[in-house]
Amino acid sequence: MPHAAKDPAAFIAADRAHVWHQLSQHQPFADKPPMIVAEGKGLRIKDIHGNEYLDATSGGVWCVNVGYGRDRIADAVCAQLKKMPYYAASVGNLPFIELAEMLAPHMPGLTRTYLSNSGSEANEKAYKMVRAMAHLTGNTSKKKILYRNRDYHGTTITALSSGGQYERRDWFGPFTPGFVEFPHACCYRCAFNKTYPGCDLDCARSVERIILAEGPETVGGLIVEPITAGGGIIPPVAEYYDVLAAICAKYGVLLILDEVVCGMGRTGTMFGYQHYGVAPDIVTMAKGVASAYMPIAITATTEAVFQAFVNDPSDKLAYFRDISTFGGCAACCTAAVENLKIIEEENLLQRVTEKGRSLKAALEELLSLPGVGDVRGKGLLCGVEFVEDKATKKPLAEAKVARIAAEAAGHGVLVGRANRSLPGMNNFITLAPAYVITQDDIERIVNTLRDTILKVLV
Ligand code: PLP
C-alpha cells in the first residue's frame, strides 16, 4: 500500500516492525507509540497525529538552525540535483566553489574547505591531517592527539576514541591508540576544586603538564569543542583559549576546533571560537552547515596546513590520500550556500545574540527553584544543570531529568537532555532552538520548564 494511504496506526505498526531508532531503547514503544514526525515550519513540527510541538532542539541534535520549511533551500537543491547532482570531490563543482569562497571571509586565517558528510568524518579528516603532517614535517612520532574530558567528537570508533563522554564508549572498545585526555573546563564542577579567577586556569595550564609527560615530540594535535555542547553546555572562561593556544604553539601542536554544534552561528558569532579570539589550525563543522537540509560536513584548514601537502618536492604523491564518496555531493553544497545566505541576509547572528541573551536571562530565573543547580550558555546554546542538593551539587538522577524532558514534551515543548553520556552526570537539559525564535517562544519554553520542574522535583 502506498504510504500516503496509510493511517497513523499503520505507520506506527510499520515503524515498530522495521525501524531501528538511534540512541533509543525500543522496549517502551510497546506501551507508548514511537514519535513519528511529519512536517515542520519555523520552530514548530507536527507528528503524524497532527500534534504540534515547539522544537527547542533544532531537530533533536542542534541541526535545523534556520528553522523548518525553508522552501528556498529545497528549491535550490532541487534545481542543482536536476542540473548536476554529483561528481567525486577530486574535481571541483560550482556550488562547492561558491561555498568555499563564501565561507572564507567568515573564518579569517582559514582558507581551505574539505568536504565530507558528518561531524565524525570531519573530525577523522582532521586527525588524518595531523598524522599525515607528522610525516610531511619529518617527525613521524608526532601523532598523539589530546582531547578534553566531557567533549564529544563523533560516533565512529576513532572519533569515540577521542571522546570524553565515557558512557557513550561503553561496549565499543578496543579503541584507537594515540588519544590522550585532559581535564574539562566546567567551573561549576572544577576538576581542581578551585574557583575562578584564583584558579589561574589550572584546567588549561594542565595541558602543558600532560604534553610534557607524554613527550612533546609525540603530540601532534589537540581537539576541543569551543563550547562543550552535549557534555553539559560549558563555555570556558574568557582567557581559557589564549592559554590553550599558547601551549599548542609552544609545542608545535595543531589546534583543532570542533565546531560541529557551535559553527554557523549557534552562539552568536559565526564560529564559537571567535568569542575567544584564538586562531585554530583546523576547524570542523557539520550539523548547521546546511541546517541539516542536506548532509554535509567540512574540515577547514589554514593555508599552512594545506601547503604542507603541496610543497613536498621529493614526493609528488604526498597529497592528502583521503576521500569520502559523498563529499562530492554538489546539491549538499547548494543547501549550504543557501543556508549561509539566509544567515547573512536575515542578520541571524545578531538575532542569535539578542534572543540568546533573553533566553539565558529567563532560564536564570529558574535558579531559585529546587534542584536547579546551574544555568550556562552562549547565544542560542543553553543548558540547565540539575542537582539533588544545591550545597553538595550531587547530580540529579538521569531518570528524573528524563521525566522533566518527557513532561515538557507532553506539554508540547521539545528539549534536549544528556542521554547516557557522562557516567553519573546525565543531569542537564539542553536548549538549542532555531535562530528565528521569538520572545513568545522563549517565554513558552521557560514557563513550560518551570511547570515541569515543579511537578517532577517538588
Ligand atoms: N562533534 C560534536 C561536537 C557533536 O556534537 C557531534 C554530534 O553530536 C559530532 C561531532 C558528530 O557528528 P555526527 O553525528 O554528524 O557524526
What number of helices (H) and strands (E) belong to the chain?
A: 12, 16
Distance CA 441, CA 10 (A): 33
60 Cα to the center of ligand 1, angstroms: 12
Element holding 409 (H helix, E strand): helix 398-410
- Verify whether ligand 1 is closer than 6 Å to residue 118 (CB atom): yes
- Verify whether ligand 1 is closer than 6 Å to residue 232 (CB atom): no
Question: Which ligand 1 atom is the nearest neighbour of the CA of 156?
Answer: 16
**Residue 265 · residue 226 · CB < 8 Å:** no
List Cβ neighbours of 236 (8 Å cut-off, separation of 6 or more): 185, 203, 204, 227, 276
458 residues of the chain, pLDDT tens digit each: 455 567 999 999 999 999 999 998 888 666 788 999 999 999 999 999 999 999 999 999 999 999 999 999 999 999 999 999 999 999 999 999 999 999 999 999 999 999 999 999 999 999 999 999 999 999 999 999 999 999 999 999 999 999 999 999 999 999 999 999 999 999 999 999 999 999 999 999 999 999 999 999 999 999 999 999 999 999 999 999 999 999 999 999 999 999 999 999 999 999 999 999 999 999 999 999 999 999 999 999 999 999 999 976 667 677 999 999 999 899 999 999 999 999 999 999 999 999 999 999 999 999 999 999 999 999 999 999 999 999 999 999 999 999 999 999 999 999 999 999 999 999 999 999 999 999 999 999 999 999 999 999 99
- Verify whether ligand 1 is closer than 6 Å to residue 416 (CB atom): no
341 Cα to the center of ligand 1, angstroms: 23
410 Cα to the center of ligand 1, angstroms: 27
- Verify whether ligand 1 is closer than 6 Å to residue 162 (CB atom): no
Neighbour count for residue 120 (Cβ, 10 Å): 23
Q: What is this structure's pTM? A: 0.97
**Residue 230 · residue 152 · CB < 8 Å:** yes
Which has the closest alpha carbon to 446: 434, 458, 429? Answer: 429
Distance CA 42, CA 435 (A): 9
149 Cα to the center of ligand 1, angstroms: 15
- Verify whether ligand 1 is closer than 6 Å to residue 61 (CB atom): yes
CA angle, 66 then 270 then 426, to 5°: 75
Q: How far is CA 295 from CA 19, 116, 256, in A?
A: 20, 9, 21
- Verify whether ligand 1 is closer than 6 Å to residue 231 (CB atom): no
Which has the closest alpha carbon to 125: 154, 93, 85? Answer: 154
Strand ranges inside 72-158, DSSP E: 110-116, 144-148
173 Cα to the center of ligand 1, angstroms: 19
